[in-house]
Chains A and B, each alone.
Chain A
Amino acid sequence: MVFSAVGILAATVTLSACGSDNTTGSTAAPNGKTVGSQANCAPGTLRAEGSSAQKNAIEAAITSYQRGCDQATINYNPSGSGAGIKNFVAGQVDFAGSDSALKTDEAAAAAKTCGSPAWNLPMVTGPIAIAYRLQGVSVLTLDAATAARIFSGEITTWNDPAIAALNTGVTLPATPIRVFFRSDESGTTDNFTKYLKAAAGSAATLEPGKKWSGKVGEGKEKSAGVAAAVKGQEGGVTYVEWSYATQNGLGIAAIDTGSGPVALNSANVGAMVATAAQVGTGNDLALKLDYATKAKNAYPINLVTYEIVCSVYQDKAKGALVKAFLTHFASASVQAGLEKQGYAPLPAEVSTKVAAAIAAIG
């Protein structure tokens, strides 16, 4: 009886973990009225689809937006970046959410559908934590090379000299390392392996990609699966979105980028995103994150998700709606509220550009 009650409770928690991490929207409630930009608050319905990595963020933004603008309906279907782009190009949805900017051929196809260039607007920053469970070790520092060697199976125990060298003063147990990876294709895997490739140099042996390509470890289903697996396995380690690591009470490794250990927090994430180079032109704000950044206090493992929009909408009413909603989403108050969902707000350098681009949507 007790067991089944626990099971059901855990069911609710785990299942909703991929959805809402906590009751979203309430944070932005007081601001909803002011940032809803009532002048643009036209009645209408927006359809959007794409990245599940930004699901909790966009849902919080939708809730607070609709509180101030109750005649607008926005539906976001978190079916994955690929599906979002596909349906955006097919004209099925009004904007897409994506973990990566449009590729050249996708951009051309999107421009054809829009009748104008499509823009990538960075909107949500999701840091990826290297999360672990290790009795008695609450502070752990890793660097890219060590992380790469852990995840490729070269380092097999927690008291390996390479880890010990980065953690002077910490007593590391001889527990075997259990690597957990995402068994589904995921933008998180893609970004994490890209980070390792870019920052770990010759130690990086894993091929970057959405599908894990390592030789060791156990795959688990989605973020909730890997986080739960590490929680249940002493010596476990995985890469997972920040919110899953904190909610499961896992240890989060600080990353030594070459200028000292950098802990995972909003300020450090913002510092890294601010160093990103813009690869898009004009208002196309596709970014190239510098995973190998050595900037002080810049946490390097991040995922930036974009909203992909038409620069000019053929249906003016639609354009106005997209503009109004994204203005709300990019506003400082909504961005600050995202921290509760495990995201980091856009740094000022990027958010001013995003605001300018949104204002230019026709």
Chain B
Amino acid sequence: MLGGVLAFVAVAFTLTIGMLNFLNFTIPALFMLAGMVTWALSVSGPHFLGFGWHWAWAAVAGIVVAVLASLLIERFTYRYMKPRFGDATEHALPLVSSLGFLIVFEHLAMALWGGDPQRFELPYKSTNWYVGELIFGVPHLISLGLAVSLVAVLSGILKRTRLGRALRAIAENPNTSTLMGVEVQQIVPLVFVIAGLLSALAGILYAASYGTVTPFMGDSIATDAIAAMVLGGLGNIWGAIAGGLLVGLVKVLAISAFGAEIEKIPVWGLLLLILVVRPAGLFGHTPIGKEKF
């Protein structure tokens, strides 16, 4: 069970969509960049960045790279959103641009480090707790705990601080918010920083748990995280966690009942159903971003 890792990425997606009406397909790339940079730096070798640092510093560097990349996206993707009246496909600009960036980053990683999976060993091997028949991986539990506490903090910020109110105002209407004195130009990048941070943490945790990194490691997590986000309701960060747990559960049940190859169908079938019948998700209120991307 990917637990916390999935939750982090799902929250990153849902935060960006809820706050900025932007389905950010670069998030899996940030996830990957953090993981790969951490791996590259921590292992000394002939590859790019093979300096052999201590894993903790490598992780910090990984996070920094992901956050910087996230800010790059903000600058060149989000700021160019120009909604125009009546033309449905033009609202897709940031989404399409983020897809472009996804390709750039994935192939950049491939160019720098090759496409093969790389082994990534942390000094702390995963220890397991055994409860009856179920195995809980300690890193998984830690990441889940981290995810929950992080979301609690985020949720608190959103509800109780001025920053949170400003964020919610921007989510409602960026233009009015500017008129009311909200520093949109300064706050929007903050959302990208948080999303980058979450994706980076997830990527590093993933790499540590599974012991491998590849330039395409973001792809499968992305699809599950998007499913989790929709199930939980776009913009609902607690919903994203619940959605993540639900996705994990559905997958495990499907695999144990029908075998591993069936797993796509229940997850995506459920998603399709929800999108058509109840786009607000299981816990959302209003279908945010109904006309937007």
Indicate, yes or no, whether A interacts with B: no
A interface residues (Cβ-Cβ under 8 A, vs B): none
